[in-house]
Structure 1
Amino acid sequence: MVSSFSLSHSFTESLIHHLPALRKFWLIFLLTLSVAVLAGLGAAWQLLWRPNVRPSAFGPAYLYIGTGSNYGTVLDSLRKYDLLRSQASFEWVAHWLNYPQRVKPGRYLLEPGLGNQALVEMLSRGEQDTVAFTLNAFKYKPQLARQLAAAFETDSVSLRRLLNDNDLLRRRYQVDTTTVLTLFLPGPYRLLWNTSARQLLDSAAATHQRFWTAERRRRADSLGLTPTQVHVLASIVQRETAQPTDKFLIAGAYLNRLRKGMRLQADPTLLWAIGNFGVKRVLNADKLVDSPYNTYKHKGLPPGPITSANRQTLDAVLRPARHNYVFFCARPDGSGFSDFAETYVEHLRNARRYQHRLDSLGVKR
Structure 2
Amino acid sequence: MKKIYYSIGLVILIATSLGIYTYQLIFSNQIKNDVKFFIRSTDALTQVLSHLDTICIHHEDVRKVSVLKKYKSIKPGMYILKQGMNANDIINLIRSGNQTPVKVTFNNQNYIENLAGKLSHQIEADSLNILNSLTDKEFLKREGLTTHTVLNICMPYTYECYWSISPNQLRGKLMKAYRNFWNKERLQKSNQLRLSQNEIISLASIVQKETQHKPERRRIAGVYLNRIRKGIPLQADPTIVYALKEKHGRKKIFKRVLNKDLNISSPYNTYRNKGVPPSAIAMADIDAIDAVLNAERHSYYYFCANPNKIGTHSFAKNLAQHNRNAKVYQRWLNMQNIKR
Give the match for residue 306 of structure 1: 281
Alignment-derived partner of residue 11 in structure 1: none
Given candidates 41, 45, 50, the residue that maps to 1:71 is 45
Q: Deviations over 1:25-44 (max 9, x none)?
A: 98x89977765564344223
Q: Is the 8 A contact 2:270 2:277 kept in 1?
A: yes
Choose 38-47 or 149-158, whichever is displaced more: 38-47
Corresponding residue to 2:105 among 123, 128, 134: 134
1:91 deviates by 1.6
| Corresponding letter in the other structure for 2:302 | F
Listed as ranges, the matches of 1:199-278 within 5 Å are 199-275=169-245, 278=253
Give structure 2 stretches of 5+ with no counterpart: none
What is the distance in 2 between the residues matched to 1:220 and 1:30?
87
Q: CA RMSD in A?
A: 2.1
Which residue, out of 59, 77, 80, partners 1:106?
77
CA shift for structure 1 position 167: 2.6
* In 1: Cα distance, 2:67 partner to 2:210 partner: 61
Report 1:315-334 matches (<5 A): 315-334=290-309
In structure 2, the residue matched to 1:159 is 130
| 1:11-30 → structure 2 map (5 Å cutoff) | none
Q: For the structure 1 residues 321 and 29, does the alpha-carbon distance in structure 2 shift closer, same or farther, using more than 3 Å as the test?
A: farther
Native 8 Å contact 2:218 2:296 kept in 1? yes
1:152-183 CA-to-partner distances (Å, cap 9, x unmatched) read 11111122223332332221x33221210001
Please list every run of 5 or more consecutive structure 1 residues that lacks an aligned counterpart in the other structure.
1-20
1:148 deviates by 0.8
Specify the alignment match of 1:123 in structure 2.
94
Q: How far does the alpha carbon of each residue in 1:211-269 deviate from its partner, in whole angstroms, 9 at most, with x for none?
A: 22111111111111222221111000000000111000001111111111111111101
Give the match for residue 349 of structure 1: 324
Aligned-partner SS, 1:99: coil
CA contact (8 A) 2:103 2:161 kept: yes
The structure having more radius of gyration, on CA atoms, is 1
User: 2:61 aligns to what?
Assistant: 89
Given residue 343 of structure 1, which amino acid in structure 2 is its aligned partner? N
Report deviation, 1:202. Answer: 1.3
1:148–1:156 Cα contact (<8 Å) kept: yes
* Structure 2 counterpart of 1:198: 168
Determine the C-alpha separation between the residues in 2 that align with 1:113 and 1:198.
37
Deviation at 1:288, TM superposition (A): 1.4
Q: 243-252 or 204-213: which moved more? A: 204-213
Partner in structure 2 of residue 51 of structure 1: 29
Deviation, structure 1 residue 334: 4.8
Report runs of 4+ in structure 1 exceeding 4 Å deviation.
28-38
> Which residue number corresponds to residue 312 of structure 2?
337
| Displacement after TM superposition at 1:87 (Å) | 2.1
Whether contact under 8 Å (1:135, 1:189) holds in the other structure is no
What are the equivalent positions in structure 2 for 1:1-12 lying under 5 Å apart?
A: none
TM-score (norm 2): 0.92
- Asked whether the equivalents of residues 112 and 150 of structure 2 are also in contact (C-alpha less than 8 Å), the reply is no
Whole-angstrom CA distance in 2 between matches of 1:340 and 1:260: 17
- Determine helix, strand or coil for the equivalent of 1:151: coil
**What is the TM-score when the length of structure 1 is the normalising length?**
0.86
* Mapped partners of 2:261, 2:133: distance in 1: 32
* Count of residue pairs the alignment pairs up: 334
